[in-house]
Amino acid sequence: MTRFAEGARIAQSSYHIESIDSDSTKMILQMGPQHPSTHGVLRIEVELDGEIVKGLRPHVGYLHRCAEKLGERGRYTHAIPHTDRLDYLAAMTQNLAVCEAIESLLKLEIPLRVKILRVLLCELQRIASHQVWLGTHMLDLGAITPFWYCFEDRDMIQDLFEEASGARLTYSYIRVGGFCNPPPPRFYDWVRELLERMPKRIDMYEALLTKNPILIERLRGVGKISGKDAIAYGLSGPVLRASGVEWDLRVTEPYAAYDLIVPRIMTREEGDCYARYLVRFDEMRESLRLCGIALDMLREADGSWTAENDLVVPPPKEDIYNDMAAMIRHWIIGIRGFKVPPGEVYRAVETPRGELGVFLVSDGSENPYRIHYRSPCFVSLGALEKMAYGGFFSDLVAIIGSLDVVLGEIDR
């Protein structure tokens, strides 16, 4: 039987017993890709001895869309919409990563106003992403109420993004040199209303969940990984910080305006599912604080919303409609693109799931020679066996949820 046929056969059910020895309790169980806790596109081959996990092999590729190769076939700006579809729950941070890499090769000077707004958008995106994680994680564990509350509040952030970019999920709002357009005037008032509402909502989430004895029983002591092992596996983000490692790219390698708006690194020492749960709660509150600082700075900041480079940044729309030279420049940038000096660069940003890195190689043409994305979810999934080994099979769902993987970012 071919591997394709084997995969098609396995995909017919959420659980499939691949092999079993009638004289022992050992078996190999195929979990997914249609199992609800694997969210549609992840298959896990679990080796069991009774109810105890003795081995685990993730199988990915069900959502592969050639994002890296497509990025190399188009112009530099054509890579931005592809990043929207990597981690589609944190598209703002994905846009920022590739734009930071391109801007580094171009040596563009980005206005402070642009940097501050990028921080604000990325921190709002972090809150929205953690709300999706919390709602779906609790749903996997059998608690349905938090799901509705989290998605209700996330919709408010999506309304803000829609007001600014016109989209609710795949924004492509952050562009090389700045933004596609300035945020509307009422955007800032809406953000202020959100920042006043959200702390009470997060307190409500915690009142529902954090001291719930059933939740504690499901998460505490489950899926543990030490700080030393987390570093050895290359983990990042909340998963790494929940193991006691103080590493956050916003602080250790600042980008955008994080040298002015400095986050506090949220850590826990336990390294289990409960610690990862608590770290993300701490991060939501910290993101609200950072958003407040960024909003105050934006109200006082002035200047351009784009870098000053006529060869890279399109002219404003009002100029395009009224000036022939501006229209021609817009057409050239949109159709032909722009040339990037030869060289290579690696830029990384701190997404809600960890370090998203972009390795970009330019040969001096309008097209990237090579684009590679360093996915934090791919690395986290590689440590799944370490966390699950020796534990109960029923705990596997809790461990997967605590990693907060997005398969669009893994299958790139």
What is the full DSSP assignment across 179-197? ESSPPPTTHHHHHHHHHHH
Task: Specify the number of domains making up the chain.
Answer: 1
CA–CA dist 36, 185 (Å, integer):
42
- Among 148, 94, 103, which Cα is nearest to 121's? 94
pLDDT at 46 over 90: yes
22 inside domain: no
At residue 36 the predicted structure's pLDDT band, cuts being 50, 70 and 90, is low
pLDDT at 20 over 70: no
pTM equals 0.92
- The continuous run of DSSP H or E covering 27 comes out as strand 26-31
The structure tokens listed for 124 are 């709002």
pLDDT, tens digit (0-9, with 9 covering 90-100), for 299-341: 888 888 899 888 898 888 888 888 899 899 889 888 888 999 9
Confidence (pLDDT) at 139? 92
CATH of the domain at 243: 1.10.645.10
At residue 135 the predicted structure's pLDDT band, cuts being 50, 70 and 90, is very high
Q: Looking at residues 207-217, what average pLDDT do you find?
A: 94
Q: Looking at residues 99-104, what average pLDDT do you find?
A: 96
327 inside domain: yes
389 inside domain: no
pLDDT at 225 over 60: yes
57 inside domain: no
Confidence (pLDDT) at 22? 59
Q: Looking at residues 66-86, what average pLDDT do you find?
A: 91
At residue 24 the predicted structure's pLDDT band, cuts being 50, 70 and 90, is low
At residue 14 the predicted structure's pLDDT band, cuts being 50, 70 and 90, is low
pLDDT at 141 over 50: yes
Confidence (pLDDT) at 8? 42
Q: For residue 348, what are the contacts with CB-CB under 8 A and spacing of at least 6?
A: 97, 249, 253, 355, 356, 357, 358, 374
52 inside domain: no
At residue 245 the predicted structure's pLDDT band, cuts being 50, 70 and 90, is very high
- The continuous run of DSSP H or E covering 175 comes out as strand 174-175
pLDDT at 271 over 50: yes
At residue 9 the predicted structure's pLDDT band, cuts being 50, 70 and 90, is very low
The structure tokens listed for 370 are 């090579």
At residue 7 the predicted structure's pLDDT band, cuts being 50, 70 and 90, is very low
Confidence (pLDDT) at 5? 42
At residue 1 the predicted structure's pLDDT band, cuts being 50, 70 and 90, is very low
pLDDT at 251 over 90: yes
At residue 4 the predicted structure's pLDDT band, cuts being 50, 70 and 90, is very low
Pick 37 or 240 by higher pLDDT: 240
Confidence (pLDDT) at 318? 83
Q: Answer whether 239's CB lies under 8 Å from 276's CB.
A: yes
344 inside domain: yes
pLDDT at 363 over 50: yes
293 inside domain: yes
172 inside domain: yes
pLDDT at 6 over 70: no
Q: Looking at residues 268-274, what average pLDDT do you find?
A: 96
- Among 292, 337, 321, which Cα is nearest to 191's? 292
Domain encompassing residue 220: 67-374
